[in-house]
Structure 1
Amino acid sequence: MLIDSHTNLHGETYAEDLDAVIERAREANVSGMIAICCRLSDFEEVSAIAERYDNIWCTIGAHPHHAKDRPDITPDELVEIARHPKVIGIGETGLDFHYGYSPREEQFRSLRAHVEAARRIDLPLILHTRDADDEMADFLESEMEQGAFRALLHCYTGGSALAKRAAKLGAYFAASGIITFKKAEDVRQVFRNDIPEDRIIIETDCPYLAPVPHRGRRNEPSYLPDVLTGVCETLGWTPDEGEAKTTEAFFRLFSKAERPS
């Protein structure tokens, strides 16, 4: 059993063939997946996908690119939406200083609201970080002092320093198709040296970042076994070990999700 911890299934990308995409995932031993919410306005569509299919869960959150769209977001609002029975995580949220689509202060304001919601309802916080390693590490350390919460650094491509500092706080890390890319040896080194093996899960982040040998195609959950192959080759795991370790870590982190029968 494999679990895809980060998919973007809503919108036009899969509008014509979502049923087939889900069926291919099932045939590839992907028994569950999370449909990620990146804008509050998308929650209705995202949650409808989770309601439609067995063993698909969802989240509620606002990506840092979209922090400017809802500068008034509050923990109360996030908590209320997160009471939906299929919501198992808060996010995607975080810090992205690469593109600067939202001002930094609005990204921090939104992120703090998500953290407080995650604390209150005890759901994992799904974090996006780009060109903000030091700021994210400082933020996590400061916030953990004010009250613990569960954190997942998704699609981890950050550096060694952030990995070490976040790991000390109990964070989990998700490997994506990037771990299979020829030029991603720096990412593989961080997974080998700086991330606890019992806190690694896997994701496709579809429709983006298709793993080798599918690069250049639309990504989909059925490609998750290729992500696992990259993780296993990086860490010296057998395929069975990788499947067991990443699946166990997923359900330990996302404890609201029921294991597929």
Structure 2
Amino acid sequence: MIELKTPAEVEAMRPAGRFVASVLTALLEAADVGVNLLDLDALAHKMIREAGGESCYIDYHPSFGASPFGKVLCTSVNDAVLHGLPHDYRLRDGDLLSLDFAASINGWVADSAVSTIVGKHRDEQDQRVIDTTEEALEAAIGVAKAGNKLGDISAAIAQVCHGAGYAVNTQFGGHGVGRTMHGEPHVPNDGRAGRGLVLRPGLVIAIEPWLMRGTDQLYTDRDGWTLRSVDGSRGAHSEHTIAITDGDPLVLTAR
């Protein structure tokens, strides 16, 4: 069921968006060569406790997860692109790190993701795939306006990604956000403009383009959660929670 938020409810979601953005900013600053993924998770956990918030991940156990997630942050490194389960791994120079974080503040959820290259060594193709997900996200937000269709968002993402030469996986994508992390509608990363749900003020969704450099096919790691590219190529992930308004979309998780 798709739920539209009132203007007051959208306003009430702002603290969650600001908090999620602040955590990702802190994590980006902390992510450096030699830093353990478990330390990044601990930092996010500490910030949740200090804010009086709740994790959306720690007890999360959907059908595609082997067990409750058990951590508060997704840390996907290199050939991992989604749902990376934090583990005992120290970041290395040149690693491509994606951070995905969602939390609830005062009963409202926000969800966001960002990718970065760790250290001084920067592979041009890694930066290109990061830049493409960010450009696709910006293009999608640009058409997320009342009266347009959900397919316009999907088509905008696909146009950027296909235009850069990447294949697009539609197995995982964006989603509705509100009192819970995942709700209707599903927001695919590929689709046809002018099709689907009419965007109306009060609709709050997470838009999240993600790509892998050499494939659109995934497999699940032995940890039961981390999704990796089948060919070992690196991936990137960008995401914001936005609200449809009477005017321009409101990016709740803007950093």
TM-score (norm 2): 0.29
Q: Larger helix proportion, structure 1 or 2?
A: 1
**TM-score of the pair, normalised by structure 1:** 0.29
Bigger RCO of structures 1 and 2 (CA < 8 A, at least 6 apart) = 2
Structure 1 or 2: more strand by fraction: 2
